[in-house]
Every structure is written in structure tokens, then in C-alpha cells.
Structure 1
């Protein structure tokens, strides 16, 4: 059999004439050809655990909020990245994506819990140095008297008391964000020691009143505590 132009047509093995493609017409794809490649390269290639671009911007805050709850209820040692992810309703890979390790999640939680304390620090240092002890004492206890700001601080301190890794993370933040900043405002050769002694006076009282709840300190009038404590803090900071 010949084609229209007189050229003999080839036959298949079964003897059935094979059709000759018309000139200029692209050949059809083979049946076994793989799936078409999408614009992105492959279909469904988004890494597991990563949020789509349209996901709400509050995902990180939701994870951090869940982490604070987990650390508060379970402590540092018993809290896991998987537990945080489950509480936040996300994949564990997403927690690692935003924060990294459990220790880094804890450090981020500390920063959030201590944000009011950092604001307090700036306010305490804003006035004359002669009144810094009273301002620092009043502002700090104002944070601890407020249940909303006290709860996250309690959770962080309890975790730090029971775990060395958590304690190290808290120590780094307190040293870098509080003590060194306060020491930098003091005109003394032993400024760092003075800042640490003042902080020890305040933190020790906080521990006894709010964490251990030793009486009668735990139920004493807050104004009475401030009146007695502020001059001591001032002496540590600026006294001879």
C-alpha cells in the first residue's frame, strides 16, 4: 500500500499498516510519559511542615503561646517540641522552623514573659539616679502584684529552678537585658556587683513572697514592703 504521495507505507509487526503522521503535525506523546511538570517544578513539592504563603501571620505567636502554657503546666524537662506542636495545632517541623530547639523556644518564651520587666527597667532608669532604688522596687512589685504579668513570670522561674538548661537561658537574658543595662547607668567601678546585689535583694523577696509564699511576707501590705526594701536597693546601687 502506498501513501498519498506515492511513498510505500511501513507496516507494523502484526501486518497492520502504520499511519504516517501528516507533515507539520507534532507526534503524540507516548502513553508511558510521566506527569507534566508544574511551574514550580513538581506538583506538591512544598516541604512538609512549612506553612503555605497564605497562612496567617499569627502562627508564630500561636506556637509561642502554646509553649508558654506547656512550660507553665509541665515544666521545662517534661515539655517537648511535639507537645508544643500538638497544643498549637501544627506540625513539629513548624516549631523547629520558627524557633529551632526546645531551649530556643524556651528563650523566646522568656523574652515574652520578661517584656514588661524590660519596660520597667527603662522607666526605672529614666529619672534621677537618687531615686532609682524606689522606682525599680515599685515597678518590679507592680508587675508581680498583677496576676496577668505574674503568671508567665512564675512559670519561667519554676522551670529555671528545676532545670539547669532553663536556668542558663534565664541567666543569659537577665544578665544581658537587665543587669548590664542597670550597671551601665551607675558611676562606680564595681557597677556590675552593685547591680547584682540590688537584683538579688529584689529577686529574693519575690521568691519568698510569690513563689515559696513564706508568711508573713506573702500576705504583707505591698506598700510596707516597698518602703522597707527600696532604701536597701538604693544603697546597693549608689551608696558608699
Structure 2
């Protein structure tokens, strides 16, 4: 009985800790969206999440760790979609990546976190390094191994830039006819180019 009660207490603490961690991530994402990497502070994020500042450091070590967790936790970046597509198989990876990327944005409104990620990476060297170390570098290594290609980092950055530009034109600027084109139309145009970036 005492063992079971102890296990329940540990389980309850774990769930509470995970809930606090999730609140911190959501608060950080909102702060980074509004204020960028430089403007957002650990103290303000902790206050928004209703936790002590020490808890933020306990879970994420520092501001860079929190930025990584909050901006890369969701499938906002094209290279996150690429990792998932590769997990599902190597055939027709370009068209499948474009389709998955567009379906995500067509189904899930909320382009701002993606813009925040790119803005922060553009203006802050530490944010840019976090983005590379956490995402671009590992994906490039995987592409080099899977497809036996050179210049893998250049290839994945070309993919990310191409899809980011497409998303910005379609969802932020709403440029026609891209904004009203069907997903399959865009897959037919962009998919072969992304395939060439990755495997040619």
C-alpha cells in the first residue's frame, strides 16, 4: 500500500511538472511571437506561465534552450516536415514534402509562429545558431546519408528557403494565383524542384 501511494505521488508530481513545462512553452512562444528573441525575457515568460523563474531554468537551462523548445516544438519549420516525410519513406520525397507542408498550413491557421522563428533567426546570431544546430544540421546529415549527396546543408537550406517563400506568398501576402491554387497544383509545380534539391 505504501509503495502504491508513493508511486501515485511520483506520478502526480510528474504530471504536474509536465503541465508546468507545457505552460512555459506556450508562454514563451507567445512572448517570442510578440517581442522577438531579444525582447522576451525569462522573468516575463515565467510570470505569464505562473511559475517561478527557477522552474524555467530547471527545464530549459537558459534562454536559448527555451527558444529551441518553444519555436521548434510544433511542426512550423519546413525541415521538421522533411524529417517526418523521410520517416515515412524515401520515394517521391519532394512532392510528399510540399504536400505535407501545404496541408499543414491549409488546415492549421496560425502563420505567426513561423514568421517569429524566421525573424528571430534573421536578426539574432544565437537564435540562428540554435535553429541550425537543432534542425538544419541534423537534417543535412540525414540527407547526406540517405541520398549520398554532397553539399547537404546547402540542399536543405534551399528546400527551407523555397518552402518558406511559398508559404509567405500564399498565407501572409496572399499573392494570386498562388493563394487560391489547389495544393495539388502547387505540388505539381514545386515538388519536382524540391526533389531535385534533395536528391539530384
The answer, yes or no, to whether TM exceeds 0.5 is: yes
1:191 offset after TM fit, Å?
Answer: 4.2
Q: 1:155 to 1:145 in 2, by over 3 A?
A: farther
SS at match of 1:109: helix
1:215 equivalent to 2:175? Answer yes
1:127 equivalent to 2:89? Answer yes
Mapped to 2, the partners of 1:147 and 1:81 lie a distance apart of 28
- RMSD of aligned residue pairs (Cα, Å): 2.9
- For structure 1, the 5+ residue unaligned runs are 1-52
| Contact 2:137–2:153, Cα closer than 8 Å, also in 1 | no
- For structure 2, the 5+ residue unaligned runs are 1-12
Considering Cα pairs closer than 8 Å and 6+ residues apart, tell me whether 1 or 2 has the greater RCO.
2
Moved more, 215-224 or 169-178: 215-224
Q: Which has the higher helix share?
A: 2
- Equivalence for 1:8: none
SS at match of 2:51: coil
TM-score, normalised relative to structure 1: 0.65
1:100 offset after TM fit, Å?
Answer: 2.1
SS at match of 2:96: helix
Larger radius of gyration: 1
Could you give the per-residue CA deviations for residues 29-82 of structure 1, whole angstroms, max 9, x where no partner exists? xxxxxxxxxxxxxxxxxxxxxxxx698231111111111111112221111011
Moved more, 145-154 or 94-103: 145-154
TM-score, normalised relative to structure 2: 0.76
**Residues 46-195 of structure 1: pairs in structure 2 closer than 5 A:** 56-57=16-17, 58-114=19-75, 118=80, 121-124=83-86, 126-129=88-91, 131-148=92-109, 150-195=111-156
Q: 1:191 to 1:99 in 2, by over 3 A?
A: closer
SS at match of 1:113: coil
Tell me how many residue pairs correspond in the alignment.
185
| Contact 1:125–1:132, Cα closer than 8 Å, also in 2 | no
2:158 to 185, 188, 197: 197
Mapped to 1, the partners of 2:184 and 2:151 lie a distance apart of 30
- Equivalence for 1:17: none
Mapped to 2, the partners of 1:115 and 1:181 lie a distance apart of 19
- Equivalence for 1:30: none
1:126 offset after TM fit, Å?
Answer: 2.9
